[in-house]
């Protein structure tokens, strides 16, 4: 669960503190992070 919270925090920071994390939910945060890693 700590890793999930880290990802959630990174996404929140990336979007400047906007409400994207609550909107997309934790699975959206994981999917987005995976896409960012794969696209690099």
pTM for this model (two decimals): 0.35
pLDDT digits (tens, 9 = 90+) for 1-40: 688 777 766 666 665 555 555 666 777 778 888 888 988 8
Q: Which of 2, 4, 17, 1 has its CA nearest to residue 33?
A: 4
- 2-35 core/surface letters (b: 16 or more CB in 10 A; e: else): eeeeebbeebbeeeeeeeebeebeeeebbebbee
Residue in 15, 13, 14, 11 with CA at minimum distance from that of residue 33 = 11
């Amino acid at each position: 669960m700590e890793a999930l919270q880290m990802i959630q925090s990174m996404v929140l920071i990336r979007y400047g503190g906007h409400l994207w994390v609550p909107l997309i939910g934790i699975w959206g945060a994981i999917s987005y992070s995976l896409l960012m890693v794969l696209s690099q």
